[in-house]
Structure 1
Amino acid sequence: MDASASWDPRITPLRDGIASRALEGLVRAEVYLDCKSLTCTAPAAGIHRAPDLASEQMDQLLFGEAFDAIEEEGGFLWGQARRDGYVGFAPTAALAAPGPEATHRVAAVRTYAFAEPSIKSRASGPYSMNALVAVEATEGRLAKVVGAGWMAAEHLTPIGTFESDIAGVAERFLGAPYLWGGRESLGLDCSGLVQAAMFACGLACPRDADQQAELGREIGQADFGRGDLVFWKGHVGIGLDRPSAKGGRIVHANGFHMAVAIEPLEAAIVRIDAAGAGQPTGFRRL
Protein backbone atom coordinates (compact mmCIF):
# COMPACT_ATOMS: atom_id res chain seq x y z
CA MET A 1 0.00 0.00 0.00
CA ASP A 2 1.26 3.49 -0.88
CA ALA A 3 2.02 5.26 2.41
CA SER A 4 0.87 8.55 0.88
CA ALA A 5 -2.70 7.20 0.88
CA SER A 6 -2.80 7.71 4.66
CA TRP A 7 -1.92 11.41 4.45
CA ASP A 8 -4.79 13.90 4.77
CA PRO A 9 -5.09 15.48 1.29
CA ARG A 10 -6.48 18.68 2.80
CA ILE A 11 -3.14 19.49 4.41
CA THR A 12 -0.71 17.46 2.28
CA PRO A 13 0.69 19.23 -0.82
CA LEU A 14 0.56 16.17 -3.07
CA ARG A 15 -1.46 15.70 -6.27
CA ASP A 16 -1.16 13.98 -9.64
CA GLY A 17 2.37 12.78 -8.95
CA ILE A 18 3.56 16.24 -7.84
CA ALA A 19 4.56 17.03 -4.28
CA SER A 20 6.19 19.77 -2.27
CA ARG A 21 9.94 19.38 -1.90
CA ALA A 22 9.34 19.23 1.87
CA LEU A 23 7.67 15.83 1.39
CA GLU A 24 10.58 14.22 -0.46
CA GLY A 25 11.39 10.92 1.22
CA LEU A 26 8.04 10.93 3.03
CA VAL A 27 5.56 10.36 0.21
CA ARG A 28 5.86 8.85 -3.25
CA ALA A 29 5.72 11.33 -6.14
CA GLU A 30 7.06 11.59 -9.67
CA VAL A 31 8.47 15.07 -9.08
CA TYR A 32 9.14 17.24 -6.03
CA LEU A 33 8.94 21.00 -6.49
CA ASP A 34 10.27 23.85 -4.39
CA CYS A 35 7.73 26.18 -2.81
CA LYS A 36 7.69 29.91 -3.46
CA SER A 37 6.60 32.00 -0.51
CA LEU A 38 3.92 34.54 -1.45
CA THR A 39 1.56 36.82 0.45
CA CYS A 40 -2.13 37.51 -0.04
CA THR A 41 -2.58 41.09 -1.26
CA ALA A 42 -6.37 41.01 -1.60
CA PRO A 43 -8.65 41.64 1.40
CA ALA A 44 -9.50 37.93 1.10
CA ALA A 45 -8.96 35.24 -1.53
CA GLY A 46 -10.56 31.82 -1.84
CA ILE A 47 -8.64 28.57 -1.78
CA HIS A 48 -10.44 26.34 -4.27
CA ARG A 49 -10.55 22.63 -4.98
CA ALA A 50 -9.68 23.20 -8.65
CA PRO A 51 -8.16 26.05 -10.69
CA ASP A 52 -11.59 27.55 -11.31
CA LEU A 53 -13.54 30.16 -9.33
CA ALA A 54 -16.65 28.06 -9.92
CA SER A 55 -15.12 25.12 -8.03
CA GLU A 56 -15.67 24.53 -4.32
CA GLN A 57 -14.15 27.11 -2.00
CA MET A 58 -12.54 25.10 0.78
CA ASP A 59 -10.76 27.86 2.70
CA GLN A 60 -9.67 31.48 2.40
CA LEU A 61 -6.54 33.54 2.70
CA LEU A 62 -6.77 36.89 4.45
CA PHE A 63 -4.69 39.93 3.61
CA GLY A 64 -1.07 39.47 4.66
CA GLU A 65 -1.24 35.70 5.11
CA ALA A 66 1.47 33.54 3.57
CA PHE A 67 0.86 30.99 0.82
CA ASP A 68 3.54 28.53 -0.28
CA ALA A 69 2.99 28.22 -4.03
CA ILE A 70 4.13 25.06 -5.79
CA GLU A 71 2.69 25.09 -9.32
CA GLU A 72 0.75 27.50 -11.55
CA GLU A 73 -2.24 26.45 -13.61
CA GLY A 74 -4.74 28.56 -15.50
CA GLY A 75 -4.43 31.77 -13.49
CA PHE A 76 -4.22 29.93 -10.17
CA LEU A 77 -1.40 28.80 -7.94
CA TRP A 78 -1.57 25.40 -6.29
CA GLY A 79 0.02 25.36 -2.88
CA GLN A 80 -0.48 25.48 0.87
CA ALA A 81 -1.74 28.19 3.22
CA ARG A 82 0.88 28.57 5.90
CA ARG A 83 -1.46 29.71 8.68
CA ASP A 84 -3.71 26.64 8.74
CA GLY A 85 -1.96 24.27 6.34
CA TYR A 86 -4.82 23.94 3.86
CA VAL A 87 -3.90 22.91 0.31
CA GLY A 88 -5.64 24.13 -2.82
CA PHE A 89 -5.72 26.64 -5.66
CA ALA A 90 -5.56 30.39 -4.97
CA PRO A 91 -5.93 33.09 -7.64
CA THR A 92 -2.53 34.20 -8.90
CA ALA A 93 -3.72 37.83 -9.04
CA ALA A 94 -4.32 37.82 -5.27
CA LEU A 95 -0.74 36.83 -4.42
CA ALA A 96 2.59 38.66 -4.55
CA ALA A 97 6.11 38.52 -3.18
CA PRO A 98 6.22 39.12 0.58
CA GLY A 99 6.56 42.70 1.78
CA PRO A 100 7.66 43.95 5.19
CA GLU A 101 6.99 41.72 8.17
CA ALA A 102 3.59 42.27 9.75
CA THR A 103 3.56 44.59 12.75
CA HIS A 104 -0.17 44.42 13.53
CA ARG A 105 -3.27 42.37 12.88
CA VAL A 106 -6.81 43.59 12.30
CA ALA A 107 -8.62 43.33 15.64
CA ALA A 108 -11.97 44.79 14.55
CA VAL A 109 -14.45 42.47 12.85
CA ARG A 110 -13.74 44.43 9.67
CA THR A 111 -12.14 47.69 8.63
CA TYR A 112 -11.49 49.74 5.49
CA ALA A 113 -8.31 51.14 3.99
CA PHE A 114 -8.38 54.70 2.66
CA ALA A 115 -6.30 55.98 -0.24
CA GLU A 116 -5.26 59.08 1.72
CA PRO A 117 -5.01 59.90 5.45
CA SER A 118 -8.63 61.02 5.35
CA ILE A 119 -11.79 59.00 5.96
CA LYS A 120 -13.35 60.94 3.07
CA SER A 121 -10.90 59.50 0.54
CA ARG A 122 -11.51 56.42 -1.60
CA ALA A 123 -11.95 53.28 0.51
CA SER A 124 -10.99 49.68 -0.29
CA GLY A 125 -11.73 46.45 1.52
CA PRO A 126 -13.14 45.53 3.88
CA TYR A 127 -10.26 43.80 5.63
CA SER A 128 -11.36 41.22 8.17
CA MET A 129 -10.31 40.30 11.68
CA ASN A 130 -6.92 38.54 11.81
CA ALA A 131 -5.63 40.04 8.55
CA LEU A 132 -1.91 40.74 8.97
CA VAL A 133 -0.64 44.24 8.22
CA ALA A 134 2.62 46.19 8.29
CA VAL A 135 2.19 49.73 9.62
CA GLU A 136 4.77 52.15 8.23
CA ALA A 137 3.43 55.49 9.48
CA THR A 138 0.66 57.09 11.49
CA GLU A 139 -1.21 60.36 11.11
CA GLY A 140 -3.76 61.26 13.72
CA ARG A 141 -6.06 58.28 14.22
CA LEU A 142 -5.03 56.59 10.98
CA ALA A 143 -2.21 54.12 10.34
CA LYS A 144 -0.61 53.67 6.91
CA VAL A 145 -0.56 49.99 5.98
CA VAL A 146 1.85 48.77 3.33
CA GLY A 147 -0.01 47.58 0.24
CA ALA A 148 -3.45 48.67 1.45
CA GLY A 149 -3.75 52.30 2.55
CA TRP A 150 -4.73 54.16 5.70
CA MET A 151 -6.67 52.18 8.32
CA ALA A 152 -8.23 53.25 11.60
CA ALA A 153 -5.47 52.69 14.15
CA GLU A 154 -7.99 51.61 16.79
CA HIS A 155 -8.99 48.72 14.52
CA LEU A 156 -5.46 47.29 14.69
CA THR A 157 -3.51 45.63 17.47
CA PRO A 158 0.22 44.85 17.66
CA ILE A 159 1.36 41.37 16.71
CA GLY A 160 1.50 39.30 19.88
CA THR A 161 -1.47 41.06 21.52
CA PHE A 162 -4.48 38.77 21.80
CA GLU A 163 -8.04 38.48 23.05
CA SER A 164 -8.81 36.14 25.96
CA ASP A 165 -12.41 35.00 25.35
CA ILE A 166 -13.12 33.02 22.18
CA ALA A 167 -16.86 33.11 22.85
CA GLY A 168 -16.77 36.90 23.11
CA VAL A 169 -14.85 37.15 19.84
CA ALA A 170 -17.33 34.85 18.09
CA GLU A 171 -20.27 36.95 19.33
CA ARG A 172 -18.84 39.94 17.50
CA PHE A 173 -19.57 38.12 14.23
CA LEU A 174 -23.30 37.83 14.96
CA GLY A 175 -25.30 38.30 11.78
CA ALA A 176 -22.36 37.65 9.45
CA PRO A 177 -23.60 35.54 6.51
CA TYR A 178 -22.91 31.82 6.36
CA LEU A 179 -20.44 31.01 3.58
CA TRP A 180 -18.99 27.58 2.89
CA GLY A 181 -15.20 27.73 3.15
CA GLY A 182 -15.31 31.30 4.43
CA ARG A 183 -13.32 32.72 7.32
CA GLU A 184 -13.77 36.46 6.75
CA SER A 185 -16.31 38.85 8.24
CA LEU A 186 -18.30 38.99 4.99
CA GLY A 187 -19.01 35.27 5.21
CA LEU A 188 -17.79 32.28 7.16
CA ASP A 189 -18.76 28.73 8.04
CA CYS A 190 -18.94 26.96 11.40
CA SER A 191 -15.29 25.96 11.62
CA GLY A 192 -14.21 29.27 10.09
CA LEU A 193 -15.88 31.08 12.99
CA VAL A 194 -14.11 28.87 15.53
CA GLN A 195 -10.80 29.38 13.76
CA ALA A 196 -11.24 33.17 13.58
CA ALA A 197 -12.04 33.35 17.30
CA MET A 198 -9.12 31.13 18.26
CA PHE A 199 -6.64 32.98 16.06
CA ALA A 200 -7.74 36.26 17.67
CA CYS A 201 -6.94 34.68 21.04
CA GLY A 202 -3.50 33.52 19.93
CA LEU A 203 -4.48 29.85 19.69
CA ALA A 204 -3.49 27.56 16.83
CA CYS A 205 -6.50 26.04 15.09
CA PRO A 206 -6.94 23.75 12.07
CA ARG A 207 -9.52 24.55 9.40
CA ASP A 208 -12.25 21.90 9.49
CA ALA A 209 -14.62 20.77 12.23
CA ASP A 210 -13.36 17.17 12.30
CA GLN A 211 -9.80 18.46 12.74
CA GLN A 212 -10.91 20.85 15.48
CA ALA A 213 -12.58 17.93 17.29
CA GLU A 214 -9.08 16.81 18.29
CA LEU A 215 -8.34 20.06 20.14
CA GLY A 216 -8.27 20.30 23.93
CA ARG A 217 -9.75 17.57 26.10
CA GLU A 218 -13.06 15.78 26.15
CA ILE A 219 -15.71 16.86 28.66
CA GLY A 220 -19.29 15.83 29.34
CA GLN A 221 -22.32 17.85 28.31
CA ALA A 222 -23.03 18.63 31.97
CA ASP A 223 -19.66 20.42 32.17
CA PHE A 224 -20.08 22.31 28.89
CA GLY A 225 -19.56 26.04 29.39
CA ARG A 226 -18.35 29.30 27.93
CA GLY A 227 -15.59 28.86 25.38
CA ASP A 228 -16.06 25.09 25.11
CA LEU A 229 -16.76 23.46 21.75
CA VAL A 230 -19.65 21.17 20.86
CA PHE A 231 -19.40 18.96 17.78
CA TRP A 232 -21.80 17.19 15.49
CA LYS A 233 -20.86 15.32 12.34
CA GLY A 234 -19.56 18.15 10.15
CA HIS A 235 -20.52 20.96 12.51
CA VAL A 236 -19.18 22.85 15.54
CA GLY A 237 -20.47 25.52 17.91
CA ILE A 238 -19.01 27.54 20.78
CA GLY A 239 -20.54 27.57 24.25
CA LEU A 240 -21.71 30.87 25.71
CA ASP A 241 -22.76 29.69 29.17
CA ARG A 242 -23.40 26.56 31.19
CA PRO A 243 -26.54 24.51 30.39
CA SER A 244 -28.02 25.56 33.73
CA ALA A 245 -27.58 29.26 32.89
CA LYS A 246 -30.08 30.77 30.46
CA GLY A 247 -30.75 27.30 29.11
CA GLY A 248 -27.18 26.91 27.84
CA ARG A 249 -26.58 28.71 24.56
CA ILE A 250 -24.12 28.35 21.70
CA VAL A 251 -22.94 30.72 19.00
CA HIS A 252 -22.34 29.16 15.60
CA ALA A 253 -22.30 29.88 11.89
CA ASN A 254 -24.87 27.56 10.39
CA GLY A 255 -26.83 26.84 7.26
CA PHE A 256 -30.20 26.85 9.06
CA HIS A 257 -29.99 30.54 9.98
CA MET A 258 -27.58 31.18 7.06
CA ALA A 259 -25.66 33.40 9.47
CA VAL A 260 -23.74 33.47 12.71
CA ALA A 261 -26.45 33.10 15.33
CA ILE A 262 -27.01 32.38 19.02
CA GLU A 263 -29.19 29.36 19.74
CA PRO A 264 -30.09 27.40 22.88
CA LEU A 265 -27.94 24.26 22.97
CA GLU A 266 -30.89 21.94 23.57
CA ALA A 267 -32.85 23.51 20.71
CA ALA A 268 -29.87 23.06 18.40
CA ILE A 269 -29.50 19.42 19.47
CA VAL A 270 -33.16 18.70 18.72
CA ARG A 271 -33.16 20.60 15.42
CA ILE A 272 -29.92 19.09 14.11
CA ASP A 273 -30.99 15.57 15.09
CA ALA A 274 -34.34 16.05 13.35
CA ALA A 275 -32.48 17.16 10.22
CA GLY A 276 -30.70 13.80 10.16
CA ALA A 277 -27.25 14.81 11.44
CA GLY A 278 -27.64 12.95 14.73
CA GLN A 279 -26.69 13.80 18.29
CA PRO A 280 -23.53 15.69 19.30
CA THR A 281 -20.39 13.64 18.75
CA GLY A 282 -18.45 15.32 21.53
CA PHE A 283 -17.78 18.26 23.81
CA ARG A 284 -14.25 19.68 24.13
CA ARG A 285 -12.53 22.15 26.43
CA LEU A 286 -9.56 24.07 25.04
Structure 2
Amino acid sequence: MYGICNLSIVPLRIEPSDASEMVNQLVFGEHFEVIEKDKKWSKIKLAYDGYEGFIDNKQYVTISENVFGDLNAQEKYYAGELIDFITDNNNQLTTIPLGAHLPFYQNSKLHINHTNYLYEGKVNTKKMNKAAIVETAFMFLNVPYLWGGKTPFGIDCSGFTQTVYKLCGHHLLRDAKQQATQGDVLSFIEESEPGDLAFFDNEEGVITHVGIIMNDYNIIHAHGKVRIDKLDHSGIYNVDTQQHSHKLRVIKKMI
Protein backbone atom coordinates (compact mmCIF):
# COMPACT_ATOMS: atom_id res chain seq x y z
CA MET A 1 0.00 0.00 0.00
CA TYR A 2 1.22 3.52 -0.80
CA GLY A 3 0.28 7.08 0.09
CA ILE A 4 1.00 10.75 -0.50
CA CYS A 5 0.70 13.82 1.70
CA ASN A 6 -2.04 16.16 0.45
CA LEU A 7 -1.80 18.69 3.30
CA SER A 8 0.65 21.53 3.94
CA ILE A 9 2.74 20.09 6.79
CA VAL A 10 2.02 16.86 8.67
CA PRO A 11 3.82 15.48 11.76
CA LEU A 12 5.57 12.12 11.57
CA ARG A 13 5.64 10.58 15.05
CA ILE A 14 7.81 7.96 16.72
CA GLU A 15 4.75 6.11 18.12
CA PRO A 16 1.10 5.88 16.95
CA SER A 17 -0.23 8.61 19.26
CA ASP A 18 -0.97 12.34 19.01
CA ALA A 19 1.01 12.76 22.23
CA SER A 20 4.06 10.99 20.79
CA GLU A 21 7.29 12.78 19.87
CA MET A 22 7.39 14.34 16.40
CA VAL A 23 10.60 13.08 14.78
CA ASN A 24 10.03 14.42 11.27
CA GLN A 25 7.47 16.11 9.04
CA LEU A 26 5.89 15.47 5.68
CA VAL A 27 5.33 18.41 3.39
CA PHE A 28 2.76 18.55 0.61
CA GLY A 29 3.41 16.07 -2.19
CA GLU A 30 5.74 13.69 -0.33
CA HIS A 31 4.97 10.05 -1.12
CA PHE A 32 5.67 6.92 0.86
CA GLU A 33 5.10 3.22 1.40
CA VAL A 34 2.60 2.18 4.08
CA ILE A 35 4.25 -0.57 6.14
CA GLU A 36 1.47 -1.13 8.69
CA LYS A 37 -2.00 0.32 9.13
CA ASP A 38 -4.61 0.16 11.88
CA LYS A 39 -7.85 2.07 12.47
CA LYS A 40 -6.19 5.43 13.21
CA TRP A 41 -2.46 5.27 12.37
CA SER A 42 -0.17 4.16 9.56
CA LYS A 43 3.50 3.33 9.87
CA ILE A 44 5.15 4.67 6.75
CA LYS A 45 8.52 4.76 5.00
CA LEU A 46 9.27 7.93 3.04
CA ALA A 47 10.35 7.42 -0.56
CA TYR A 48 12.75 10.39 -0.44
CA ASP A 49 15.04 9.27 2.38
CA GLY A 50 13.67 6.00 3.81
CA TYR A 51 12.66 7.66 7.09
CA GLU A 52 10.03 5.74 9.07
CA GLY A 53 7.38 6.86 11.53
CA PHE A 54 3.65 7.06 12.20
CA ILE A 55 1.16 9.34 10.48
CA ASP A 56 -2.56 9.90 11.16
CA ASN A 57 -4.69 8.08 8.57
CA LYS A 58 -6.75 11.26 8.07
CA GLN A 59 -3.72 13.21 6.92
CA TYR A 60 -2.89 11.49 3.64
CA VAL A 61 -4.50 9.85 0.63
CA THR A 62 -3.64 6.46 -0.85
CA ILE A 63 -2.08 6.07 -4.29
CA SER A 64 -1.58 3.01 -6.49
CA GLU A 65 1.69 1.15 -6.84
CA ASN A 66 1.94 2.44 -10.41
CA VAL A 67 1.58 6.06 -9.28
CA PHE A 68 4.18 5.45 -6.56
CA GLY A 69 6.58 4.12 -9.19
CA ASP A 70 5.87 7.03 -11.52
CA LEU A 71 6.58 9.51 -8.72
CA ASN A 72 9.90 7.80 -8.03
CA ALA A 73 10.83 7.94 -11.71
CA GLN A 74 9.68 11.47 -12.55
CA GLU A 75 11.86 14.56 -12.49
CA LYS A 76 11.59 16.24 -9.09
CA TYR A 77 9.95 19.65 -8.70
CA TYR A 78 9.89 21.63 -5.46
CA ALA A 79 8.09 24.81 -4.41
CA GLY A 80 10.65 27.61 -4.36
CA GLU A 81 8.65 30.26 -2.50
CA LEU A 82 9.02 30.74 1.26
CA ILE A 83 5.27 30.23 1.58
CA ASP A 84 2.68 30.03 -1.20
CA PHE A 85 -0.55 28.27 -2.06
CA ILE A 86 -2.03 25.93 -4.62
CA THR A 87 -5.60 25.98 -5.91
CA ASP A 88 -7.62 22.80 -6.51
CA ASN A 89 -10.53 21.95 -8.85
CA ASN A 90 -13.00 23.67 -6.49
CA ASN A 91 -10.89 26.82 -6.13
CA GLN A 92 -9.98 25.86 -2.58
CA LEU A 93 -6.58 27.00 -1.39
CA THR A 94 -3.90 24.88 0.29
CA THR A 95 -0.84 26.61 1.65
CA ILE A 96 2.47 24.96 0.81
CA PRO A 97 5.88 25.70 2.32
CA LEU A 98 9.28 26.09 0.73
CA GLY A 99 10.44 22.62 -0.35
CA ALA A 100 6.97 21.15 -0.88
CA HIS A 101 6.93 18.47 -3.59
CA LEU A 102 4.99 19.16 -6.78
CA PRO A 103 3.82 15.77 -8.11
CA PHE A 104 3.54 15.46 -11.89
CA TYR A 105 4.24 19.19 -12.29
CA GLN A 106 3.93 20.64 -15.80
CA ASN A 107 3.14 24.18 -16.92
CA SER A 108 1.98 25.36 -13.48
CA LYS A 109 -0.25 22.29 -13.07
CA LEU A 110 0.13 19.24 -10.82
CA HIS A 111 -2.16 16.51 -9.56
CA ILE A 112 -2.73 13.92 -6.86
CA ASN A 113 -5.01 11.13 -8.08
CA HIS A 114 -8.06 12.91 -9.58
CA THR A 115 -7.45 16.26 -7.87
CA ASN A 116 -5.78 18.85 -10.08
CA TYR A 117 -3.92 21.82 -8.64
CA LEU A 118 -2.59 25.11 -9.99
CA TYR A 119 0.69 26.50 -8.64
CA GLU A 120 2.08 29.73 -10.07
CA GLY A 121 5.09 30.29 -7.81
CA LYS A 122 8.79 29.68 -8.27
CA VAL A 123 9.84 26.08 -8.92
CA ASN A 124 13.18 24.45 -8.11
CA THR A 125 14.07 21.46 -10.27
CA LYS A 126 17.66 21.62 -11.55
CA LYS A 127 20.88 20.73 -9.79
CA MET A 128 22.55 23.93 -8.66
CA ASN A 129 26.18 24.63 -7.93
CA LYS A 130 27.72 24.93 -4.48
CA ALA A 131 27.27 28.70 -4.30
CA ALA A 132 23.51 28.18 -4.38
CA ILE A 133 23.66 26.16 -1.14
CA VAL A 134 24.55 29.17 1.04
CA GLU A 135 22.26 31.47 -0.93
CA THR A 136 19.33 29.10 -0.36
CA ALA A 137 20.25 28.67 3.32
CA PHE A 138 19.78 32.42 3.85
CA MET A 139 16.07 32.00 3.05
CA PHE A 140 15.72 30.19 6.40
CA LEU A 141 17.55 32.78 8.51
CA ASN A 142 15.75 33.36 11.86
CA VAL A 143 13.37 30.41 11.38
CA PRO A 144 12.73 29.05 14.91
CA TYR A 145 14.22 25.72 15.94
CA LEU A 146 11.68 22.87 16.04
CA TRP A 147 12.63 19.27 16.83
CA GLY A 148 11.63 17.19 13.80
CA GLY A 149 10.80 20.28 11.74
CA LYS A 150 11.82 20.94 8.15
CA THR A 151 9.85 24.03 7.05
CA PRO A 152 10.11 27.84 7.35
CA PHE A 153 7.72 27.64 10.34
CA GLY A 154 10.17 25.56 12.40
CA ILE A 155 13.19 23.45 11.55
CA ASP A 156 15.86 21.32 13.20
CA CYS A 157 19.55 21.24 12.29
CA SER A 158 19.44 18.29 9.88
CA GLY A 159 16.02 19.21 8.50
CA PHE A 160 17.61 22.54 7.60
CA THR A 161 20.59 21.03 5.78
CA GLN A 162 18.48 18.36 4.05
CA THR A 163 15.90 20.86 2.80
CA VAL A 164 18.51 23.37 1.60
CA TYR A 165 20.35 20.66 -0.32
CA LYS A 166 17.06 19.28 -1.70
CA LEU A 167 16.07 22.70 -3.04
CA CYS A 168 19.44 22.82 -4.82
CA GLY A 169 18.92 19.38 -6.38
CA HIS A 170 21.17 17.35 -4.05
CA HIS A 171 20.11 14.45 -1.82
CA LEU A 172 20.87 14.17 1.89
CA LEU A 173 19.53 11.68 4.44
CA ARG A 174 17.38 13.01 7.29
CA ASP A 175 19.32 12.92 10.57
CA ALA A 176 22.72 14.50 11.26
CA LYS A 177 24.36 11.16 12.08
CA GLN A 178 22.97 9.73 8.81
CA GLN A 179 24.19 12.72 6.78
CA ALA A 180 27.63 12.25 8.35
CA THR A 181 27.91 8.90 6.52
CA GLN A 182 27.68 10.72 3.16
CA GLY A 183 30.28 12.72 1.25
CA ASP A 184 34.07 12.98 1.55
CA VAL A 185 35.99 13.85 4.70
CA LEU A 186 38.07 17.03 4.77
CA SER A 187 41.07 17.11 7.12
CA PHE A 188 41.03 20.80 7.96
CA ILE A 189 38.62 23.71 8.05
CA GLU A 190 40.99 25.49 5.66
CA GLU A 191 40.13 22.86 2.98
CA SER A 192 36.41 23.58 3.21
CA GLU A 193 34.33 25.65 0.81
CA PRO A 194 31.04 27.46 1.33
CA GLY A 195 28.32 24.82 1.10
CA ASP A 196 30.28 22.03 2.80
CA LEU A 197 28.83 20.55 6.00
CA ALA A 198 30.34 20.56 9.48
CA PHE A 199 29.23 17.90 11.99
CA PHE A 200 29.39 18.08 15.77
CA ASP A 201 29.22 15.41 18.47
CA ASN A 202 28.25 15.14 22.15
CA GLU A 203 30.27 13.85 25.10
CA GLU A 204 29.52 10.26 24.09
CA GLY A 205 30.90 10.86 20.60
CA VAL A 206 27.47 10.67 18.91
CA ILE A 207 26.95 13.16 16.08
CA THR A 208 24.03 15.36 17.12
CA HIS A 209 24.38 18.59 15.11
CA VAL A 210 25.17 19.80 11.59
CA GLY A 211 25.55 23.16 9.88
CA ILE A 212 26.47 24.69 6.52
CA ILE A 213 29.89 26.31 6.19
CA MET A 214 30.02 29.84 4.79
CA ASN A 215 32.80 32.25 3.83
CA ASP A 216 35.32 33.59 6.39
CA TYR A 217 34.87 30.73 8.88
CA ASN A 218 31.19 31.42 9.47
CA ILE A 219 28.52 28.73 9.78
CA ILE A 220 24.74 28.87 9.35
CA HIS A 221 22.86 26.34 11.47
CA ALA A 222 19.63 25.76 13.44
CA HIS A 223 20.26 26.34 17.16
CA GLY A 224 17.37 28.14 18.86
CA LYS A 225 16.79 29.60 15.42
CA VAL A 226 18.60 29.46 12.10
CA ARG A 227 21.57 31.71 12.86
CA ILE A 228 25.10 32.57 11.78
CA ASP A 229 28.00 31.92 14.14
CA LYS A 230 31.77 31.51 13.92
CA LEU A 231 33.44 28.17 13.17
CA ASP A 232 36.90 27.29 14.45
CA HIS A 233 38.93 24.13 15.08
CA SER A 234 37.12 23.54 18.39
CA GLY A 235 33.61 23.96 17.03
CA ILE A 236 30.90 26.63 16.88
CA TYR A 237 31.59 29.89 18.70
CA ASN A 238 28.27 31.57 19.53
CA VAL A 239 28.56 35.27 18.72
CA ASP A 240 25.86 36.20 21.29
CA THR A 241 27.01 34.20 24.32
CA GLN A 242 30.72 34.47 23.44
CA GLN A 243 31.09 30.76 24.18
CA HIS A 244 31.50 27.56 22.22
CA SER A 245 28.14 25.80 21.80
CA HIS A 246 29.12 22.69 19.76
CA LYS A 247 32.24 20.50 19.49
CA LEU A 248 33.51 19.90 15.95
CA ARG A 249 33.74 16.26 14.86
CA VAL A 250 34.19 16.23 11.08
CA ILE A 251 33.82 18.37 7.95
CA LYS A 252 32.48 16.78 4.79
CA LYS A 253 32.27 17.78 1.14
CA MET A 254 28.91 16.62 -0.24
CA ILE A 255 29.16 18.05 -3.75
TM-score scaled by length of structure 1: 0.71
- What residue number does 1:25 align with? none
User: Residue 273 of structure 1 contacts residue 279 of structure 1 at CA under 8 Å; is this kept in 2?
Assistant: no
- What residue number does 1:239 align with? 213
Q: Which amino acid aligns with 2:253?
A: R
Quote how far apart the aligned CAs of 1:268 are: 6.2
Taking the aligned partners of 2:163 and 2:143, their CA distance within structure 1 comes to 13
Quote how far apart the aligned CAs of 1:274 are: 5.5
Taking the aligned partners of 1:273 and 1:67, their CA distance within structure 2 comes to 44
- What residue number does 1:14 align with? none
Q: Deviations over 1:160-189 (max 9, x none)?
A: x23322222111111222111111222111
- What residue number does 1:41 align with? 6
User: Residue 29 of structure 2 contacts residue 100 of structure 2 at CA under 8 Å; is this kept in 1?
Assistant: no
- What residue number does 2:226 align with? 260
Q: Which of 40, 43, 62 pairs up with 1:97?
A: 62
Quote how far apart the aligned CAs of 1:49 are: 0.5
Taking the aligned partners of 1:278 and 1:163, their CA distance within structure 2 comes to 29
Q: Deviations over 1:52-76 (max 9, x none)?
A: 1221111112211111112123521
- What residue number does 2:30 align with? 65
Quote how far apart the aligned CAs of 1:116 are: 7.8
Q: Which runs of 5+ in 1 are unaligned?
A: 1-35
Taking the aligned partners of 2:247 and 2:176, their CA distance within structure 1 comes to 15
Tell which has more relative contact order, 1 or 2 (C-alpha 8 A, sep 6+): 2
Q: Which secondary structure does the structure 1 equivalent of 2:212 belong to? A: strand
- What residue number does 1:108 align with? 81
Q: Which secondary structure does the structure 1 equivalent of 2:247 belong to? A: coil
Alignment CA distance shift 1:194-1:89 (3 Å): same
Q: Which secondary structure does the structure 2 equivalent of 1:191 belong to? A: helix
- What residue number does 2:98 align with? 128
Alignment CA distance shift 1:273-1:225 (3 Å): farther
Q: Check if 1:222 corresponds to 2:190.
A: yes
Taking the aligned partners of 1:66 and 1:97, their CA distance within structure 2 comes to 9
Query: How many pairs does the alignment contain?
Result: 231
Q: Which amino acid aligns with 1:184?
A: T
User: Residue 65 of structure 1 contacts residue 131 of structure 1 at CA under 8 Å; is this kept in 2?
Assistant: yes
- What residue number does 1:12 align with? none
Q: CA RMSD in A?
A: 2.8
Quote how far apart the aligned CAs of 1:128 are: 2.7
- What residue number does 2:205 align with? none
Q: Deviations over 1:86-143 (max 9, x none)?
A: 11101211221236856732122332124589xxx7642133314233346x6xxxx3
TM-score scaled by length of structure 2: 0.79
- What residue number does 1:198 align with? 165
Q: Which amino acid aligns with 1:251?
A: I
- What residue number does 2:151 align with? 184
Quote how far apart the aligned CAs of 1:208 are: 0.5
Q: Which secondary structure does the structure 2 equivalent of 1:97 belong to? A: strand
Instruction: Give 4+ residue runs of structure 1 displaced > 6 Å after superposition.
Output: none
- What residue number does 1:16 align with? none
Q: Which amino acid aligns with 2:250?
A: G
